[in-house]
Structure 1
């Protein structure tokens, strides 16, 4: 799997799914509509300014709250290529992997706007701005395959004879 490179967006603790995609937008089936409101509950400008490939770096308990799958879907469709946090809500973590959005448990020193590169196979995060490297646990082969195939459903369909 190729390393993931992107600009950092920083968030704090307890970023819940209601903040990631507010409930009033859950009636739409349009991914573009969902993405246009992502993170609206905490940062109004995020949906307009996030670029394809950007990376979220957060603190504790990212994705807590309801189990809505629309939260990681909206982030991925908005262009977020990965999320790094000190911890994740279990259901959010699983939903993200299931849709092919890498989520990494790590505590790294990085500032908003800096560029980082994540190598899931090697277990490294490189801050390209400061040239500082952080070690993480490498992803298992089956997890990498799920992410490479675009998520669990696509992974299953590709494995089917």
Structure 2
């Protein structure tokens, strides 16, 4: 099993949305590096931290689990979708998504500022300058460290 962090803007999709829906596809990833991780590395049962970005309370908001591995992001085929890509076709898909299932909300939003202050998280892509990936791997040790921050 591996561990991941998925970024989302809560105005678009939040941990509350996932809690209500119980399960959702993680569509709309339009970065090749993040796409490759979703397509090639994310496996059934992997655990995911849901991270709220571009909002008032930036940070880890909950936990999800991967319940379906990568398949073509069919939103890319729909001209009416915000995620439409005319270069992506059903015969030659450019973009992929996975399905995740709600596990739980964190006891509090774990702020980015707090994570940046923890030496054990210094190598985590999220806390490094300039990282814009919406999907990123984290280690088991980083996972445990972040979850310990719920109680602070």
- TM-score, scaled to structure 2: 0.32
* Larger RCO (alpha carbons 8 Å, 6+ apart): 2
- TM-score, scaled to structure 1: 0.30
